[in-house]
Amino acid sequence: MARASWRERIEAARAQRVAAQRTRVRRTVTHRDGARVLVDSKNLLNFCGNDYLGLSQHFAVIDALQDTASREGAGGVASHLVCGHHAMHEALERELAEWIGAPRALLFGSGYLANLAVVQALLDDESVCVQDRLNHASLIDAARLAGCRLRRYPHGDPEGAIRQLRSVPDGMAMLVTDAVFSMDGDVAPLRELALVARLQKALLYVDDAHGVGVLGPDGRGSVAAARLGVAEVPLQLATLGKALGGYGAAVLGDEDVIGHLAETARPYIYTTALPPAQAAATLAAVRLARTEHWRRDKLRDLTARFRERAQKHGLELMESATPIQPVLCGDDARALAMAQALEQAGYWVAAIRPPTVPEGKARLRVTLSALHGIGDVDGLVEVLAKARDRTELGLPAAMDTAMTDALVNNIAAADSRKSARAR
């Protein structure tokens, strides 16, 4: 049998993506200014980022980054267990643990690495990992790389989870779920899953990447919002790159389990630590997230307004009370056309297509931030409705030049009024 050509395989895969309208294109952001971005020479209002609390550009966060970098340098220089563990890392881990309400926290370079670390350090080929069908790709990859038996249950279905756990009665068991699902915006039934885990003697691990900072008392996240603690959820993940506006992640939980990860998890042992300056910036962001409750209040108000106005226009939404508000489009071509129309009108919303979401469930993933204003949300909904209507009539979703110019001028005028009030 002839050896397969890597070049032919790449070209064939590319041709398939082109035919299915599923090519992926990177966009280059030249400048960020609040909720506005300059991308490919276009000034757009960004509705597809994860800076939920608007902390990524906060002056206190930036000052902490710059000040620590000037004193401690730009890099992490080594892994934590060699000579890379800095006092700033220690301070951030303590602050995170106190905030979330866990005995201990452990920093990682990203949420992806953290998920790989947890599953691989705790499970082997005699173990079972039971996961929600819509879990993040990093959790699925983690189970596959660990070599354990992976079982998946229907989305948000605790009864499905217990059936899967009962189907593999031997070996260690871990029940794993996203808390807030990144493409749907809904929240996992954590209290029911905690009961399932207790009955089946499984370790419950909750990835709260999109909940920490946004949900729960003082922004402590989905686990706290469900009135659960370490006894019910021994491990949870908090990302540092979404509501906290920085980079990296932390796993928080039971002292013994975190200690085990620190000594055995390959993605922790064999990688360079976060730069101390980044840890300092995140520490500043955590303190703001804990105390500036108005950011979450504003975010809830904007979310409610978006949903109310979108439903009045008949836009198809999903059941979500979080800042993630998907607008269902159905087929890929329609999602792409609507995203293009939005961009032409001055709004940046990403079209999400399979395999990231199920077939026939392409969508525009709208995400809201405390940086947005009421006028921003209202304008977005108006353009969404117009783009939807044009695609339903079989017309190009992009609007004519006069309509686009009028919308862009309205946005610019609103920005000017806000700047005048600020002065």
- Summarize pLDDT for 155-211 with one digit per residue, the tens: 999 999 999 999 998 999 999 999 999 999 999 999 999 999 999 999 999 999 999
Which of 237, 262, 291 delimits the end of a domain? 291
Q: Are residues 86 and 225 in the same domain?
A: yes
Q: Are residues 262 and 248 in the same domain?
A: yes
pLDDT at 423 over 50: no
Binding-site residue set for pyridoxal 5'-phosphate: 111-112, 182, 210, 239
Task: Read off the DSSP letter of residue 84.
Answer: I
On whether residue 374 sits in a domain, the answer given is yes
The predicted structure's pLDDT at residue 367: 98
Q: Are residues 261 and 304 in the same domain?
A: no
The answer to which of 94-103, 202-211, 253-262, 328-337 has the lowest mean pLDDT is 328-337
Element (H, E) at 177: strand 173-178
Q: Are residues 204 and 284 in the same domain?
A: yes
Q: Are residues 268 and 169 in the same domain?
A: yes
The predicted structure's pLDDT at residue 421: 47
The predicted structure's pLDDT at residue 394: 67
Under the banding of pLDDT at 50, 70 and 90, the label for residue 399 is low
On whether residue 14 sits in a domain, the answer given is no
Q: Are residues 316 and 403 in the same domain?
A: yes
Q: Are residues 47 and 111 in the same domain?
A: no
Which of 242, 275, 291 delimits the end of a domain? 291
CATH number where 268 lies? 3.40.640.10
Per-residue model confidence as pLDDT tens digits over 2-49: 888 999 999 999 999 888 878 888 899 999 999 999 998 899 999 999
Rg of the chain, C-alpha, whole Å: 22
Q: Following CA atoms 68, 72, 78, 80 in sequence, which dihedral angle do they give, to the nearest 10 degrees? A: -50
Burial grade of 408 (CB within 10 A; 0-12, 13-18, 19 or more): middle
Please choose, from the candidates 111, 164, 106, the residue with its C-alpha nearest in 3D space to the C-alpha of residue 139.
111
Alpha carbon separation from 388 to 253, 359, 382, 408 (Å, rounded): 45, 20, 10, 19
Cβ proximity of 212 and 220 under 8 Å: yes
Under the banding of pLDDT at 50, 70 and 90, the label for residue 387 is very high
Alpha carbon separation from 317 to 156, 177, 266, 365, 366 (Å, rounded): 18, 23, 40, 10, 10
The predicted structure's pLDDT at residue 398: 62
Measured distance CA(261)–CA(256) in Å, rounded: 9
Q: Are residues 117 and 46 in the same domain?
A: no
Q: Are residues 356 and 259 in the same domain?
A: no
pLDDT at 407 over 70: no
Range of the domain at 226: 59-291
Measured distance CA(210)–CA(179) in Å, rounded: 7
On whether residue 209 sits in a domain, the answer given is yes
On whether residue 387 sits in a domain, the answer given is yes
Split into its structural domains, the chain has a count of 2
Alpha carbon separation from 231 to 134, 144, 234 (Å, rounded): 25, 27, 6
CATH number where 44 lies? 3.90.1150.10
Under the banding of pLDDT at 50, 70 and 90, the label for residue 408 is very low
The predicted structure's pLDDT at residue 135: 97
Mean pLDDT of the chain: 93
Binding-site residue set: 24, 111-112, 136, 182, 210, 239, 356
Alpha carbon separation from 127 to 205, 267, 295 (Å, rounded): 15, 20, 42
Mean pLDDT of 106-125: 97
The predicted structure's pLDDT at residue 404: 46
On whether residue 16 sits in a domain, the answer given is no
Helix 276-291 to helix 87-100 angle, to the nearest 10 degrees? 30
On whether residue 13 sits in a domain, the answer given is no
Assess whether the previous peptide bond of 355 is cis (omega < 30° from 0). Answer: yes
Helix 401-422 to helix 374-392 angle, to the nearest 10 degrees? 170
On whether residue 187 sits in a domain, the answer given is yes
The answer to which of 113-117, 190-194, 278-282, 396-400 has the lowest mean pLDDT is 396-400
pLDDT at 420 over 60: no
pLDDT at 66 over 80: yes
Mean pLDDT of 210-219: 98
Binding-site residue set for substrate: 24, 136, 356
Residue 12, SS3? Answer: helix
The predicted structure's pLDDT at residue 19: 87
Under the banding of pLDDT at 50, 70 and 90, the label for residue 397 is low
On whether residue 17 sits in a domain, the answer given is no
Q: Are residues 252 and 299 in the same domain?
A: no
pLDDT at 403 over 60: no
pLDDT at 415 over 60: no
Per-residue model confidence as pLDDT tens digits over 217-268: 999 999 999 999 999 999 999 999 999 999 999 999 999 999 999 999 999 9
Which of 291, 320, 346 delimits the end of a domain? 291
Q: Are residues 338 and 223 in the same domain?
A: no
pLDDT at 78 over 80: yes
The predicted structure's pLDDT at residue 422: 43
pLDDT at 413 over 60: no
Measured distance CA(53)–CA(218) in Å, rounded: 13
Q: Are residues 276 and 306 in the same domain?
A: no
